[in-house]
Each structure stands twice: as structure tokens, then as C-alpha cells.
Structure 1
């Protein structure tokens, strides 16, 4: 059953962005050494095992957890996410965390803008203005750089489109299905798809990197659980501006761990999109309490 708790949803989104940023840093390390499809496949094996265990615990059986009247949409969600992860991780290797996330930052704007026409959620003109300002911030991030316009920039851009659609479909299926059901289909359909393509790229992995793989699996499970819960308790248009924080967290990891560079235009653009998110929070609270 779906509820509307904007404050909780925002907290879940902030936690989600931090966990995803850590996950991205681990993915960048592993994908720089091993086949991307293999890395994502192993992660999905753990993910699928976890969701099956959760299904038995929460729903009493796998059959109950898998029960849905919208299986095609649930499977499509799983495939979208698996494809998005592969493309984005490849982008980390080609561009680095900072520039990949600078481009990927447009996905929350896409979800917020489309939540009205696709999901029927209310988005007033002030929030539309905040979304527009957020896009200006993204343009500031993109415009001065040359690397951003390299062919590799298509990777995070495509990932942004795919993840925006995944987010909208997650909110859509939550109207009829429980969090456990969506979680189950996300893990199982993604694992099946990745096994079909990833098994052919298997490579031997060192013991230390298996430790990093274990950490990647844990962060993957945690992040997607938080995201599903987020969309279940709050409107996408209210929480999505806070997804911009993933740009800040991932950039910090890129700078501190991978010695990437942070140019002034990236910092300015990130500040603008975060401010747009804060304004949207204030505005959504006023609307919820009947303010003008």
C-alpha cells in the first residue's frame, strides 16, 4: 500500500545517493581491471539470492513475493536497470566518476519533469522553475569541458535516460505491488539477463578484488532497496531533486580516491542543482500544508 511521506522519502533518497556513490567508486575500480559484464553479473547473483531470501521472510514464499498483475512492466524494469548499470560503469572507466556523474545528473530532472504527464503527480510552476534552474546547473557543468563532448559521453547520457524511465516505472508499479515484489523482480530478472551475457566474459579475480566485489554486492542491494522504498512512500517530484547529491558524493570519491580533477564549473553547477533541490523541498512542504 502506498503512502505519502515527503520527509521520509527525502531521507531515503539522500541515503540512496550516498550508497550509490560508494558503489560507483567500487565499480570504477573493478571495471578498470576486469570485464564490465562479469562484474555486473556477479553483483546480480548476490542481489538475486538476497531478494529470494527476503521474499521468503517477508511474503512467506517466493511465489507470493513474485505475484503481480503487471509482470511485463516488472521484467522491463529489471532489464532497464541491468542495462543502465552496465552502460554507466563503462562510462566510469571511459570518463571517470566526476564527468560521468556531471552528465548523469540530468536523470532526476527527467523524472521530476515527467512525473506529471506520466504518473499524474502534481508539479506546480514554482517546482517547474526549480527544475529549469537545475537544468541550467547541468549545462554549466557540461559546457566548458571538452572531454564531456567526446563520444564516450553518450554512455552516461544513455544511462540517465534509462534510469529515469526505471524510476518512473518503479513508482508506477508501486501502486499495485509491494516493495518486496518490486525488489524480487528487479533482482531476478536482472540476474537472468546478466548471466546470459556476462558468463562469456568471465576472468580470474584476485583475492583482494573479491573483497571489493563483496562490498559492491552489499552496496548494490542496500541502494536499490532504499530507492524502491523511497518511491513507495513519497512522490517522485518531491524527492528527485535530492538525487543530485549523488553528483556531490561521487565527485568527492573521484577526487579523494581516484585523483580526478574538479573544475570550477562542476562545483558551481553542483551548487545550483542542490539549491534547486532545497527550494523544491521547501515548496513541497508549503503545498502539503495548504500554503500558497
Structure 2
């Protein structure tokens, strides 16, 4: 076979993976916007419960795990539970934050998760960052500070909720990387919904999730459906394309957040948010560049 069709096939795979990844970012942006709207009428904890309930129902209905249970059996149940708890914390604190902050702010602060992941990967996974990557981590953190510290006496406490969500998300990413060595992607997608649903049901007061209008009901449904679809798009995207190719397209989520914030909630991005987001994106792209060019044992 000539090399041209092979090159064309690889390019097609990359484009398919990038398209799926961008669709995932759109799903997550609409998910957050839906949660922000629904939080005006429904308690946040109840929204989180609905999000995982719908996710779990869709996963069980589509995967039918009882037919091929061996695929969904986990070799590391404790880590699976911890991973689900991290996702629950990330979702809960993010929904609290988007209820009080602009969508572009929470998304920009959420971009700090890769820096937290890079910092924790050394002690947890043995993947230590060198001086150049640490410099990028520090610069990215400065970008977060620009967004979160507008001035003394003018600090919205909800910013800390968004930072906690980013920390939970970083731990979720690390635990996911650890589980990919032993568990299936379908199993992780299923457990990440079922475990939070079981844990939240006794405390979430599901009856309070009754929507007052059809529009709120639609938003509640979207939080779960888009959570499931978005994570599925992510899994399929990584199946088609390598992580370094996909990761820069994570930042397309900020575009969707700015547009949704403006057209749905009338939020106009503040200059400091755009400046801070630009610094975070530049630092993140540099981290990705170092991952692609560093030699074994380099920084």
C-alpha cells in the first residue's frame, strides 16, 4: 500500500478526534450553563443528583453491563470510588460557583486543573516536572490570580469554590490516568455515574429537584445527558487521536462559555478575565509543547 492513503487515513483520524473533542467541550459548556440556569429554581445538591441519575440511567440503558460484566469489573475498587468522589466534588463545587460567577470566570479558573495535575503527578505518579514546566505552572497560576484577585475588598468568595472544583478535577484526572492501566473506559464511565448516585441519594433530597417549569426540567435533563455524551465524546476522541494533539482544543470551551454567558445571561467578560485566561492558555500550551519535545529524563 502506498504511503499516501496511510497519511490521509491518519489525518482523517486526527480530524475526527479533534472534532469529537471540540464537541465534548461544547457539551460541557452547555452543561454548566444549564446548571447555572436551573440553580435559580432548584437546590444545587439536587441538580448534582439529577446530573448523575440521568448519566447513570443512560449508561446502564446503552451499555447493558449485565451482558458483558467482565468488561465492567474493576481491579481497583477503592480507586474507582475515590475517582467518583473527585468527580462528584468537582461537579458540586463547580455548580455552586457557576450559580454566583460568570461562566467565563469559572471556565478560566478551571483551566488551572492541568497545572495542579502536573504539580501532583510527581509525588503520585512519579512523573516529575522539570524547571521549565514548573515555570509554566507558576506563570499559569499567576494567570489564575489575575482572574481571582481583582482587588482587596472586592473578592467574590465563590471564586474559592471554583478553585476547589479545579483541585477535585485535577485529582479526578490523575485517578483516571491510574485506572486506565487496569480498567476499561466503559467501566470508568459507568462507575463515575453510579457511585455518585448511590452516595448522593440519601442526602440530596431528590424530591426537591422537581422542576417548576418545562424549561427548568430541560436544563436538568441536559446536565445529565450532556455529562454522559460529553464524557463519551472525550473517550472516543482519545481513541482516535493522541493527548498532545487534542489537549490544546480544551480551550475552545472558553469561547463557548463566553458566548453562552453573553447570550443567555447577559454577562460580558471582564478585561482581567481575558488577560488571565490568555496567560493560562499560553502556559498550558507551553506545557503541552514540553510534553511533545522533551527527551526521556528531560524537563
Q: Same fold (TM over 0.5)?
A: yes
Q: Which runs of 5+ in 1 are unaligned?
A: none
- Aligned partner (choices 137, 144, 165) of residue 138 of structure 1: 144
Alignment check: 8 A CA contact 2:211 2:217 kept: no
Which segment drifts farther, 99-108 or 19-28? 99-108
Which segment drifts farther, 123-132 or 135-144? 123-132
Alignment check: 8 A CA contact 1:242 1:277 kept: no
Matched, 1:212 2:219: yes
Which segment drifts farther, 94-103 or 77-86? 94-103
Alignment check: 8 A CA contact 2:50 2:209 kept: no
Which segment drifts farther, 68-77 or 224-233? 224-233
Change (3 A) 1:172 1:109: same
Alignment of 1:1-292 (within 5 A): 14-56=22-64, 61=67, 63-121=69-127, 123-145=129-151, 149-198=155-204, 199=206, 201-228=208-235, 243-287=250-294
Q: How many residues align?
A: 286
Alignment check: 8 A CA contact 1:238 1:284 kept: no
Q: Which runs of 5+ in 2 are unaligned?
A: 1-12
TM-score when normalising by structure 1: 0.82
CA RMSD of aligned residues (A): 3.5
Q: Radius of gyration: which is bigger? A: 2
TM-score when normalising by structure 2: 0.80
Alignment check: 8 A CA contact 1:27 1:89 kept: yes
The alpha carbon displacement at 1:220 in A equals 0.8
The 1-side partners of 2:49 and 2:98 are apart by 17
The 2-side partners of 1:120 and 1:234 are apart by 25
The alpha carbon displacement at 1:130 in A equals 2.7
The 2-side partners of 1:76 and 1:45 are apart by 18
Alignment check: 8 A CA contact 1:13 1:226 kept: yes
